[in-house]
Amino acid sequence: MNILNVIKVAILSLGRNKMRSFLTMLGIIIGVAAVIAMLAVGQGAKSAIQTQIQSLGTNMIIVFPSAVSQGGVSTGAGTSIKLTPEDAAAIANECPSVEYVSPVIHTSAQTIYKNMNWRTEIQAGNTNYFQIRNWTLQSGNFFNENDIKSDANVCLLGQTVVQNLFGTSVNPVGQLIRINNLPFKVIGVLNAKGQTAMGNDQDDIIIAPFTTVQTKMLGWTWVNVILASAQSSAAINDAEQQITEVLRSRHHLQTWEPNDFTVRTQTDIATAAESTSRVLTILLASIASVSLIVGGIGIMNIMLVSVTERTREIGIRMSIGARGKDILYQFLIEAIMLSLLGGLIGVLLGITASDLISSIAKWTTLISPESIILSFGFSGAVGVFFGFYPARKAAMLNPIDALRYE
Amino acid sequence: MESENSNDSIIKVENLVKVYKVGEIEIPAIRGVSLEVTRGEFVAIMGASGSGKSTFMNILGCLDVPTLGSYALEGTQISKLTRDQLAKIRNNKIGFVFQGFNLLSRTTAIENVELPLYYKRIGTKLRRELAMQALESVGLKDRAHHTPNQLSGGQQQRVAIARALATQPSLILADEPTGNLDSRTSVEIMEIFQKLNDNNITIVLVTHEKDIAEFAKRNVFFKDGRINLDMQVNPRKNANLVLESMPVNIEEEVV
């Protein structure tokens, strides 16, 4: 038996009922298109989250203090050892896998320019802060080592702050603003970063030298966190370990004592976010697969009708020597043709649909070859699964009963 | 024509019983039939409707299985075979001709004739060749690419005969082959059967028309599920001569 012949016979018999074949395929078409579109949305969301996490910084490592507990008694945040600029300097000197380090202080403050005012977040770091957080300049300059040493009253503004204090008509660079009643000179404007995955506006920010904020604004000797960046993404784990060792020895921790600080890498954040988006993708795809299964039931229904309609034909074929297997293949191939053809159209429709979603809803969509292979393969499997029962029913017919069927 | 040589036995039926079960009620269709048909015979099975002759025919054709008794086709015991083995026998050893022609509609004559060869796993080229030969032997070579609804009843039955002949079986079974045809066309079909029989093909046909049965060599009469008469036909009618005495059927030629 020639497989091409069977396929030819299947196409001919499907062609005899064009409308019916098309409507049957429609279930599969919609199912496959839905799976592809939903996977594209899910994967698009995933890649968008990855881009946003990348915008936090490159190979970033965050060190923040944690409350220590001794003998099961938590000593509380006030008694815990704070991170200091000296810790940051030690990390810079003693950790070979670390490229940049910056002590960071963040606080919120009221800012005033002429008759405008705006409450915003002050991030204070050293000159490395910009590289670690991937900040780029739109105009002006970053602050330099001299500004750090001399506690200079200089700052750089994020786009949101620029809009709220200056509007669009004034160039902020060179202007004086007041932060908590201290005058600061604007020396630069930062390029926009957009929102974080959590919806925070990253551009609602003012960046100033940490020495200035430490001494003139807050009177602190410690800092909130230490930001560092690893040499490469491969070096993140090494860097994490080196930082832990340096800080443990600087804080005089015995081997049995837990860390009084926490080191978090960007990989940790990315992993958390990815698992969220993976759940989302699986959820969307499984809802879409339900429609694929419904489509399969449609195929089964039509194949059962077809077997009943063609009972006499089956009888004739059997009377001249068709075996059960021949009849089984004939109907099974028909069902598979229906679902594969439906799958093919569904793939095209799915690609069109995800293009539409990304252009209308402005969502990032990403069609991976895997999702096409997956859904196309799944549609074929649906054809085999739901085509088998009707085909088997046809193959099991008694020749004489089939011949007599009216 | 009767031969004692068991190798030449095509059909050997002994004490065959067929009972149909409809719910709780058992309806006996054949109540013990024994019959032997040897190679080269032309047997017409006759009987009123309900006499069990069609049921008997279906069992002979391996489309149905007997309830009791034995049936050997060319020495092979049929009752022991699986579904697939029965299909193979229908394909290789038996050619079927039905009252209602039973051609696949929307399928050309040549494709219909090719069908048994297709199930015999014969390659495309040889298949077409053999099918064409079979169509030629029933005089329908020029209608090869017509579909059944473009053919007259007589032509459709000739296509069906060509299909039965395609795998060169040893036995042709015909169930009321002239039942749907007018008298001249019926004789034409019988002429083909007589010609095939002259070429040593064994034919068993079921009919309730005495005229048709007289073209066979042997007549077997069924009554209430039993054979009540088995006789040689003498004198036997020659379809060729009968046709000469009949008016030409004009419609037949127009189609």
- Let me know: does A192 contact A163? Beta carbons within 8 Å: no
Report which of residues B249 and B164 the model is more confident about: B164
Of the three residues A228, A249, A283, the one that is the final residue of a domain is A228
Interface membership of B19 toward A (CB under 8 Å): no
Interface membership of B127 toward A (CB under 8 Å): no
Instruction: Dump pLDDT digits (tens) for B126-163.
Output: 999 999 999 999 999 999 999 999 999 999 999 999 99
Q: How far apart are CA A364 and CA A355, in angstroms?
A: 9
| Yes or no, beta carbons of B58 and A1 under 8 Å apart | no
A142 domain residue, yes or no: yes
pTM (2 d.p.): 0.73
Mean pLDDT of A240-262: 87
In a shared domain, residues A282 and A388:
yes
Q: How far apart are CA A169 and CA A135, in angstroms?
A: 24
Which residues from B are below 8 Å from A5, CB to CB? 118, 124
| Yes or no, beta carbons of A321 and B58 under 8 Å apart | no
Which amino acid is residue B93, in one-letter code? K
| Yes or no, beta carbons of A321 and B163 under 8 Å apart | no
In a shared domain, residues A222 and A276:
no
Q: Tell me which residue of A389, A338, A402 sits closest to A10, measured CA to CA.
A: A338
Residue B251 has pLDDT above 60, yes or no: no
Instruction: Dump pLDDT digits (tens) for A160-217.
Output: 999 999 988 889 999 999 998 899 999 999 998 887 656 778 899 999 999 999 888 8
In a shared domain, residues A342 and A400:
yes
Would you give the DSSP letter of residue B217? Answer: S
A59 domain residue, yes or no: no
Residue A75 has pLDDT above 70, yes or no: no
Which residues from B are below 8 Å from A399, CB to CB? 63-64, 90
Q: How far lies A214's CA from each of A66, A151, A158, A178, in Å?
A: 20, 9, 21, 16
In a shared domain, residues A339 and A393:
yes
In a shared domain, residues A122 and A210:
yes
Predicted local distance difference test score (pLDDT) of residue B77: 92
Q: What's the gap in Å between the CA of A13 and the closest CA on chain B?
A: 10
Predicted local distance difference test score (pLDDT) of residue B255: 43
Kindly give the interhelix angle for B153-165 and B109-119, rounded to the nearest 10 degrees: 20
In a shared domain, residues A172 and A291:
no
A240 domain residue, yes or no: no
Q: How far apart are CA A243 and CA A261, in angstroms?
A: 10
- Per-residue pLDDT band for A80 (boundaries 50, 70, 90) equals low
In a shared domain, residues A303 and A360:
yes
Which residues from B are below 8 Å from A400, CB to CB? 58, 63-64
Mean pLDDT of B85-98: 93
Q: Which tokens is A257 given?
A: 């004592």
In a shared domain, residues A292 and A398:
yes
Instruction: Dump pLDDT digits (tens) for B27-71.
Output: 899 999 999 999 999 999 999 888 889 899 999 999 988 999 999
CA angle (A53 as vertex; A246, A167 as ends), nearest 5? 110
CB within 8 Å of chain A, chain B residues 81-100: 83-84, 87-88, 90-92, 96, 98
Q: How far apart are CA A273 and CA A278, in angstroms?
A: 9
A76 domain residue, yes or no: no
Of the three residues A228, A257, A283, the one that is the final residue of a domain is A228
Predicted local distance difference test score (pLDDT) of residue A259: 83
Q: What's the gap in Å between the CA of A399 and the closest CA on chain B?
A: 6
3-state secondary structure of B81: coil
| Yes or no, beta carbons of A5 and B120 under 8 Å apart | no
A309 domain residue, yes or no: yes
Residue A254 has pLDDT above 50, yes or no: yes
Which residues from B are below 8 Å from A312, CB to CB? 102
A17 domain residue, yes or no: yes
A260 domain residue, yes or no: no
Q: Which residue has the tokens 């002949």?
A: B165
In a shared domain, residues A28 and A111:
no
Q: Which tokens is A210 given?
A: 């940490």
Could you tell me the residue range of the domain that residue A126 belongs to?
Answer: 103-228
Q: How far apart are CA B7 and CA A203, in angstroms?
A: 101
Nearest to A320 among B64, B106, B115 (CB): B115
Number of domains in chain A: 2
Name the burial class of residue A371, with classes exposed (0-12), middle (13-18) and buried (19+) by CB atoms within 10 angstroms of its CB: buried
Nearest to B102 among A316, A323, A325 (CB): A316
- Per-residue pLDDT band for A71 (boundaries 50, 70, 90) equals low
In a shared domain, residues A117 and A212:
yes
In a shared domain, residues A221 and A151:
yes
- Let me know: does A128 contact A226? Beta carbons within 8 Å: no
Report which of residues B92 and A276 the model is more confident about: B92
Which residues from A are below 8 Å from B64, CB to CB? 399-400
DSSP A143-207: --HHHHHTT--EEEE-HHHHHHHHTTTS--TT-EEEETTEEEEEEEEEPP--B-TTS-BTTSEEE
What percent of chain B lies above the pLDDT cut of 90?
Answer: 72
What percent of chain A lies above the pLDDT cut of 90?
Answer: 45
The whole-chain average pLDDT of chain B stands at 90
In a shared domain, residues A308 and A361:
yes
Residue A287 has pLDDT above 60, yes or no: yes
CB atoms within 10 A of CB B231: 9
- Per-residue pLDDT band for A78 (boundaries 50, 70, 90) equals very low
A19 domain residue, yes or no: yes
Q: How far apart are CA A155 and CA A123, in angstroms?
A: 10
Q: A242-263 burial string, b = 16+ CB within 10 Å, else e?
A: bbbebbbebbebeeeeeebbeb
- Per-residue pLDDT band for A347 (boundaries 50, 70, 90) equals very high
Residue A72 has pLDDT above 70, yes or no: no
